Amino acid sequence: MMKAMFVSALLGSLALSTMAQARYIGPILVKETKTGFVLPEFAKAEKCEIFADRVVLTTKFASGLQSVTTSSNSLQGDVQGLLQKASKGTQVKVAGHADGSSVRHFGNIINSNDSVSYVGLTYENSATGEFIINQSVEARTLRFVIDTLCPNTLQSSASSAD
């Protein structure tokens, strides 16, 4: 009887300690896009989220319709190390295109407590004509990875900017 109570208490404490260790389950790399000035019926916003094991593309249309496509993917390598280095990159603001698509590339550094730190890679705001570029080699590398894994999203002028 005493042995059964001990085993039960041990299993209960293991279950609690396992539940207490939350793990970040969000995306590692993200690309968000919005159409520029178009007829309202042609407006759309897209979000391509890259996880370690899948890519999720969500497209929202002005009509209220939404499409979600999920594809299997295995992203391997030191993405977090590249994001750490990119987070130290210089952010440069330049004049960008107006009236085109707005495109933002970013990544999430997963901290030890499962909180997330945002790392901007590029942001082209066509409403203001402002273009922010992270000048680090790692940021360019990560943007290339994002654009490769999210080829069917709206494009920006970033691919020709650097």
In a domain? residue 106: yes
In a domain? residue 123: yes
In a domain? residue 18: no
Which has the higher per-residue pLDDT, 14 or 141?
141
In a domain? residue 82: yes
Instruction: Decide if pLDDT at 32 tops 60.
Output: yes
- pTM, two decimals, is 0.79
Over residues 88-127, the pLDDT tens digits come to: 999 999 987 777 789 999 999 999 888 999 999 999 988 7
Full domain range(s) for residue 72: 24-153
- Predicted local distance difference test score (pLDDT) of residue 51: 95
In a domain? residue 50: yes
Instruction: Decide if pLDDT at 17 tops 60.
Output: no
In a domain? residue 15: no
Which has the higher per-residue pLDDT, 31 or 5?
31
Cβ atoms 118, 66 nearer than 8 A: no
- Predicted local distance difference test score (pLDDT) of residue 20: 47
Q: Tell me how many domains the chain contains.
A: 1
Residue with tokens 């520029």: 36
